[in-house]
Structure 1
């Protein structure tokens, strides 16, 4: 199984939460060579995960991360990583339900309830127009993202001019560097039609993310035979679940038992 397609992610910080450990190890157990690029020394990565310095892919502006969030620069990093290594990008909160097929050149999909794309799991050809347009957007930020309306531009204009241009865009629209950009450029390049249906990569809408911690929540009711990945949306997790072990019988608890992760050892 070690000849499955490689997957990789980025971690900014020193400690993984148990849900991140769970998701990374799920890919290892599915047979995917799994690399975690890190900005700091991380000593609680699961067995089987190869930890490498993020600087192998690109230098990260940690001040910009401090002004925005840990996920901000991952939106640039993921495409540079794919371009350099050919690995499939996985967010650290994407659980591997089934291995990724070898014959899929493009892997990305619809999420949520509105039909936009997410970029939590992405595979692209290392050379393609979509990749080029995404990287050009990040490397040469326009005055405003081209899809913004007047209200979004006004929101940007009201922000402190002392902040960097990228930070102001992020503060105005947090997803302007993630799902918004990916959706826009996929449409511009004609790749939007390659998007997988929601059940493949994001079977549970992010609006319902508490269901992962509910022992009476029927998480698997959202799955189909096509489901490959289950996004746990840790950015939307309520603080309680970050600091406490999941309730017995919940999806999070059951998957930890199945994969071999002890939540009590990696809480915030």
Structure 2
């Protein structure tokens, strides 16, 4: 990307009340990197860092009321990010991503990354261009409730096939909470050959979720997972809930970022 080309916009979604300190820190890291960042929301949200643009999520995807009532924000976010890919050229990021360096798609318009040990291509950071075959597959699955996803286990496929088609948008979630998450993305990218665009783990998702505690360790331990190519860090906040309630130790990865960004910690 030429030096004078504006950085692409990164976007995320928040469902619920105010941002927590961890989400506030992560969004601030993009502001610090001077990368335009948008926070989509359905309801009022507080504790938003200065420099983050707020937009109504309904401009991208307005979910049916039963979907909101009977599923979870994570499922809604998995759907939202696919609509975002189709309707905009923005890069999706989860709210627990710290920006080490500005995020940019490759020359073909892709930005996705392998989880450590190449288990899956994660959807926590995602840019699929509008011509992507994988995006077309995923959107077809979203829009056609008669389709049974080939990326879930046969037993789950059988269970889902027995549900009435008109209730299947909710039933998909109750079959597998992440049914349109990383497994779906990985399957479709491999099917189209677009998995060749996926970055190595050290670029976008250096530390495995099993070792995410090291990010709070004042004695280090995370550095060996990163490289000079690292652009971001996934905090895996869903497995770090206990850390949100504990003092952050000085000298840890998280404390150092908070100090760098001048973000207060709890």
**With structure 1 as the length reference, what TM-score do the two structures score?**
0.89
Corresponding residue for residue 149 of structure 2:
145
Report the Cα distance in structure 2 between the residues aligned to 1:35 and 1:2, rounded to whole angstroms: 19
Corresponding residue for residue 259 of structure 2:
257
Q: Is contact 2:134–2:188 with CA below 8 Å preserved after alignment? A: yes
Q: 1:213 to 1:157 in 2, by over 3 A?
A: farther
Corresponding residue for residue 67 of structure 2:
64
Q: Is contact 1:2–1:33 with CA below 8 Å preserved after alignment? A: no
Corresponding residue for residue 134 of structure 1:
138
Give the 3-state SS of the residue equivalent to 1:186 in structure 2.
helix
For residue 74 of structure 1, report the CA deviation from its aligned partner. Answer: 1.1
Report the Cα distance in structure 2 between the residues aligned to 1:102 and 1:112, rounded to whole angstroms: 20
Most deviating of 36-45 and 163-172: 163-172
Say whether residues 1:167 and 2:157 are aligned partners.
no
Say whether residues 1:185 and 2:185 are aligned partners.
no
What do you get for the CA RMSD once the two structures are aligned?
2.4
Q: 1:114 to 1:51 in 2, by over 3 A?
A: same
Q: How does 1:1-268 map to 2 (within 5 A)?
A: 3-101=6-104, 103-104=106-107, 105-142=109-146, 144-153=148-157, 164-238=167-241, 240-264=242-266
For residue 62 of structure 1, report the CA deviation from its aligned partner. Answer: 4.9
Report the Cα distance in structure 2 between the residues aligned to 1:215 and 1:55, rounded to whole angstroms: 42
Q: Is contact 2:160–2:168 with CA below 8 Å preserved after alignment? A: no
Q: Is contact 1:200–1:228 with CA below 8 Å preserved after alignment? A: yes
CA deviations 1:125-144 (Å, max 9, x no partner) are: 13322221111111113453
CA deviations 1:12-34 (Å, max 9, x no partner) are: 01211111111111111111111
**With structure 2 as the length reference, what TM-score do the two structures score?**
0.89
Q: Is contact 1:155–1:172 with CA below 8 Å preserved after alignment? A: yes
Q: Is contact 1:2–1:31 with CA below 8 Å preserved after alignment? A: no
Report the Cα distance in structure 1 between the residues aligned to 2:5 and 2:31, rounded to whole angstroms: 9
Q: 1:108 to 1:2 in 2, by over 3 A?
A: same
Q: 1:112 to 1:169 in 2, by over 3 A?
A: farther
For residue 171 of structure 1, report the CA deviation from its aligned partner. Answer: 2.8
> Unmatched 5+ residue regions in structure 2?
none
For residue 2 of structure 1, report the CA deviation from its aligned partner. Answer: 9.2
